[in-house]
Each structure stands twice: as C-alpha cells, then as structure tokens.
Amino acid sequence: MANLGTTTQRIPTSSKPSSPASDTHEPKGPHEKPYADFKFYCPINIPLTAEAAAARIIRNLGNLGLYYTLFVWIILFITLIPQRKVSLILLVIMTYVTTLYCLLLRACPNSVVLHRIIDKRIVLSLLFIATAVQLILTKAGIHFAVTLSSSVPIVLLHAVLWASTCEYDAYETQEGSVTEELAPLTGHSDGENRSSDAV
C-alpha cells in the first residue's frame, strides 16, 4: 500500500548512441535531395561500322516508325495549309482511313485474315501510294516532294544516331495492372528487345 502513489522509472538497458558519421550519405538540405541520384545519359552516338549503322536504322524504323511518320505528316500538313485546301482535306481523309485500319488491327488481335493472310505492310504501302497519287492529282506533288526531301534525311539521321530505343523509350502507365507498372509506347515485347540488342 505504501507504493500506491509512487511511480517507478526504468532505465533502458541497451541504448544506441546516434553517431553523426552514419548520416553522411544523406543530402544536407531538402533542395539537394532531387540531385542526389542524378545520372546523365546521352542516347545519341555514332555507330562504329556501316553494318551497325544499318542495323540501328532498321531497328529504329521498326520501333519509332509511328513517331517518324507523325513528324513527316505534320510538316506536310503545315505546307498544305496556305494554298492546297482540297489536298489537305484528302490528306486528312486518308489519315482517318489509316487510323481506322490500325485500330481494327488492335481490336482484332486474333484475326487470321487481318494478321496472317493480309500483310499489314502491304496495306499501309497501298494507303501511302494512294495518298501520294491523290496529292499529285490535286497539284500538291511539289509540296509532297519537298516535304519528303527535307524530312527523310532528318529521320534517317536520327535513326542512325539514336543508340538505345529499348531501355529509354517513352513509357506510359499500364492501367490494367494492379501495380501500375510501366509499358513501352512502341508496343514491342521484352523478347524482341533482347533480340534487337543482340544485333
């Protein structure tokens, strides 16, 4: 009963003194934290041999072909705006048809007719030829030729100098996954990445 109003204080048996040497890897201020793990990477370099340059062009045209096509299309669209209204309308219609075809390929991934019997490259080549013929018939052939002659060398130069498209692609969040993992925008799988790295 005598100990009823008193409190007992226990002394800890093991205590670790904080040493200032253990915190040396941390940044000193909050403004320095984003720059602690900064690494500079330049994906542009010159290939050593002609074979390596050709392999890199083929790989980059396959992986980044959509972006290259969009680059050429924007230049052609801008050059047609001031004078060739009919050619501009036909270009937009053919772009719409091409987009519908690509969406159809995505919507039916298991279709034997769309993926094995009818080759995608043949259909896209026919759409390109039809677009070129329409532009020539509407007197926009000069615009088309100037656009191709000015943009294709830039595309080829980028395809030669762009070293790595596998690790440093543009990525988007895959919504179907629980972990919200990143998926490449170009749509190639990891097995294709490894085979293209081996080349």
Closest CA to 96 of 112, 73, 75: 73
Higher per-residue pLDDT: 50 or 11: 50
pLDDT digits (tens, 9 = 90+) for 107-149: 988 888 888 888 888 999 999 999 999 999 999 999 999 999 9
pLDDT digits (tens, 9 = 90+) for 144-175: 999 999 999 999 999 998 886 454 444 444 44
What pLDDT does 184 receive? 47
Q: pTM of the full predicted structure?
A: 0.60
Q: In 3-state terms, what secondary structure has residue 52?
A: helix
pLDDT of residue 195 exceeding 50, the answer is no
Query: Could you write out the DSSP letters of every residue in 172-198?
Result: EE-TTSTT--EEETT---HHHHHHHHH
pLDDT digits (tens, 9 = 90+) for 65-84: 889 999 999 999 999 998 88
